[in-house]
Amino acid sequence: MKSIIRLFACLLTLLLHQQVHAANERPNLVFIIADDLTFRDIGCYGGQAHTPHIDRLATEGMKFTRCFQAAPMCSPTRHNIYTGLYPVKSGAYPNHTFAKAGTESIAHYLKPLGYRVALSGKTHIGPRNVFPFEYSSEKNNPDMERVTQLFADCGESDAPFCLFACSNEPHSPWNKGDASRYPLEKIKLPPYIADTPVVRENFSRYLAEITYYDDQVGDILALLDKYELSENTLVMVVSEQGNSFPFAKWTCYGHGLQSAMIVRWPGKVKPGTSTDAMVEYVDVTPTFLEAAGAAPAPVLDGESFIPVLTGKADRHKEFAYGIMTTRGIINGSDAFGIRTVRGEQYRLIWNLHHKTKFTNACTKADYFQSMIAAAAAGDTKARELVDKYHHRPELELYDCDADPLEMTNLAAEPQYAKVVGRLKGKLEQWMEAQRDRGVETELDALARQGRYRGMTHEEAVEAWRSKKASAGKKKQARGKKKAS
C-alpha cells in the first residue's frame, strides 16, 4: 500500500513539474500600439521619421507589408484588436463606442491559462466587464513604473503575462518630441496633401511625435532586456490607423487602414525577414492565443497567422475589409458610411452616402483650412484635393500595385467593370455575414456610442439632435458677442 502511495506521489509530482514547465514555456506577449500614425512615415517603411528602436526591432524580427485594420478610428480599432471580432459584429463600429453585452475579449481567454493580462496607456474601450485588464496609465500613455513592476513580478514568479502598451502618440495636438529635427524646408509631404506653410509646420511636429513614440517602444524593449524576459517574449509593434491629415484617419484609403506591424519572437521568427502575407488586426487575438498554446474560440472572426511567423506559410488572407462611420464623431457628416475590401492587387471603396459632403475633425483643422485658403487663392492642386476630400463618387477602385498611394480612381473605366463587380460581391458577402445593413447600420450608429448607451435608436437620435441644437445656439451667441 505504501509503495502505491509513493508511486502516486511521484506521478503527481511529475505531472505538476510538467505543468509548471509548460507554463514557463508559454511566451510572454507584448503588443505596442501608436495612435494616429501613418505606417509609411516610419523609418524602416521608407519614412522620414527618426525611429531607431522600431527600425532595430525590424532587423530582429519580421516586418509585415500588408497589415490592415477594420476601421480608421481609435475606438473601433481597439475593440477589434482585443475581441478578435469585426466592428459591426461586436457592436463597436462608430467612434467612442462599446461592445455588445456578453462579448469576450483576450483577457477572458488568457487568464484561465495563468496569464496576467494588462493594458497600460490609452483605453477607449468599454464596458470594463468585457475588458477585465489590469489597467494603468500615465497621462493617457503607458505607465512605465507599472510596466516595470509587471515585468519584475512576472520575471520573479515565472508567471506569463500579456501586456498591451497603448501610446497616445502621435495623436494631435503634436506637442511632444523635438520638432527641430524636422526643418520645415526639408520635409517631404505626401502628394495627397496640399503644400502650405501651415501644413508643413504641423507635419514637422507630427514627425517629432513619431520619434517620441519610438522612444516609448525603446523603453519597453529595454525593460524586457533588464528583467531577462526578451528571449521568451513575443513582441508586436503596430502603427494603428493613419494620421489625422487628409485622406488618412477617418477614411478607408490605405493611408487610413494599413498599418505597420513588426514581430520579434526569438527562436520562432527569423530575424530580418519581411512578408507580404495579408493580415488584419482582427487576427491578433487568435494569434496570441495560439502562441499561448490555446485553441482560438470559434466565435472569433480573426485567424491565427502563427504559420506566417514561423516560416511555414507565406500567405494568410485573400481579402481585408474595412468600415467607416461618421455619425457621432467631431464635425462628422450626419451620416456618411464607407465600406471597403482590399484584395491582392485592388482596393474597392463603396461610399454609401456619396451625395453627402464628407466632413470630420480634419476639415476644421488649421492645416485643412489652409488648404481651402490656398484653393481660394488659385492653387489648382489644393482645390482638386479639397474637392476630392469633401465629395466622393459611389465607387472607387485603386490598383494598389501600380498606384500604392491610391490617387487614380479606376471604377468608371469599362475595362475594370469585372474587377469592380467581383470585389463588390465579396464586400456584400462580408457585410451580410456581419449583419451589416449598410445605410440602416449607419443610422443606428448613435445608439452604439457610449454617451447614448442604454437608449433606443429614437432616444439616441433625439439626444443627439438636442445636443447639436444647443451647440448651434451657443455658437450663434458667441458670434453675436464677438460682433458687438
Same domain, 198 and 96: yes
Q: What is the pLDDT of residues 67-117, one digit of tens each?
A: 999 999 999 999 999 999 999 999 999 999 999 999 999 999 999 999 999
Same domain, 229 and 310: yes
Quote the pLDDT of residue 473. 67
What percentage of the chain carries pLDDT values higher than 70? 92
- CATH code, 397: 3.30.1120
Quote the pLDDT of residue 458. 87
Q: Is there a domain that residue 11 lies in?
A: no
> Is the Cα torsion angle 154, 159, 160, 165 positive or negative in sign?
negative
Same domain, 279 and 373: no
Residue 301's domain comprises 26-317
Q: Is there a domain that residue 83 lies in?
A: yes
Q: Residue 215: which pLDDT band, with cuts at 50, 70 and 90?
A: very high
Quote the pLDDT of residue 475. 65
Q: Which pairs with CB-CB distance under 8 Å and at least 24 residues apart come from 44-48?
A: 44/262, 45/260, 47/210, 48/182, 48/187, 48/188, 48/207
- How many domains would you assign to the chain? 2
**pLDDT averaged over every residue in the chain:** 93
Query: Residue type for 385, please?
Result: L
What pairing do the DSSP bridges indicate for beta strands 62-68 and 258-264? antiparallel
What pairing do the DSSP bridges indicate for beta strands 279-280 and 273-275? unpaired
Q: Is there a domain that residue 465 lies in?
A: no
481 or 350: which leads in pLDDT: 350
Same domain, 309 and 329: no
- DSSP for 321-379, please give it: EEEEE-TTSTT--SS-EEEEEE-SSEEEEEETTTTSPP--GGGGSHHHHHHHHHHHTT-
Same domain, 270 and 348: no
Q: Is there a domain that residue 187 lies in?
A: yes
> Which H, E and C letters describe 132-176, residue by residue?
CCEEECECCECCHHHHHHHHHHHHHHCCCEEEEEECCCCCCCCCC
Cell output for 466: 438636442
Q: Residue 328: which pLDDT band, with cuts at 50, 70 and 90?
A: confident
Quote the pLDDT of residue 152. 97
Same domain, 246 and 381: no
14 or 370: which leads in pLDDT: 370
Q: How far apart are CA 115 and CA 192, in angstroms?
A: 44
Q: Residue 480: which pLDDT band, with cuts at 50, 70 and 90?
A: low
Quote the pLDDT of residue 25. 77
Q: What is the pLDDT of residues 287-297, one digit of tens each?
A: 999 999 999 99
Same domain, 134 and 272: yes
pLDDT at residue 60 greater than cutoff 70: yes
What's the mean pLDDT in 389-395? Answer: 98
Beta strands in 368-447 (DSSP E): 395-399
Quote the pLDDT of residue 258. 98
What's the mean pLDDT in 438-453? Answer: 93
Quote the pLDDT of residue 18. 38
Q: What is the pLDDT of residues 269-318, one digit of tens each?
A: 999 999 999 999 999 999 999 999 999 999 999 999 999 999 999 999 99
pLDDT at residue 19 greater than cutoff 90: no
Of the residues 432, 449, 466, the one at which a domain ends = 432
Q: Is there a domain that residue 173 lies in?
A: yes
Q: What is the pLDDT of residues 243-258, one digit of tens each?
A: 999 999 999 999 999 9
Q: How far apart are CA 353 and CA 392, in angstroms?
A: 9
Same domain, 269 and 348: no
Q: How far apart are CA 230 and CA 228, in angstroms?
A: 6
Same domain, 357 and 412: yes
Q: Is there a domain that residue 135 lies in?
A: yes
Q: Residue 20: which pLDDT band, with cuts at 50, 70 and 90?
A: very low
Determine whether 438 is exposed, middle or buried from the number of CB atoms within 10 Å of its CB (0-12, 13-18, 19+): middle
Of the residues 267, 285, 317, the one at which a domain ends = 317
Q: Is there a domain that residue 274 lies in?
A: yes
pLDDT at residue 16 greater than cutoff 90: no
Same domain, 307 and 387: no
Of the residues 415, 432, 449, the one at which a domain ends = 432
Quote the pLDDT of residue 481. 66
Q: Is there a domain that residue 456 lies in?
A: no
- CATH code, 218: 3.40.720.10
**What are 459's strand-pairing partners?**
none
Q: What is the pLDDT of residues 227-240, one digit of tens each?
A: 999 999 999 999 99
Same domain, 227 and 344: no
What percentage of the chain carries pLDDT values higher than 90? 87
For 77, 140, 179, the CA distances from 35, given in Å and listed in that order, are 10, 11, 18
Same domain, 251 and 400: no
Query: Residue type for 399, please?
Result: D
Query: Residue type for 130, please?
Result: V
Quote the pLDDT of residue 217. 98
Q: What is the pLDDT of residues 335-360, one digit of tens each?
A: 999 999 999 999 999 999 999 999 99
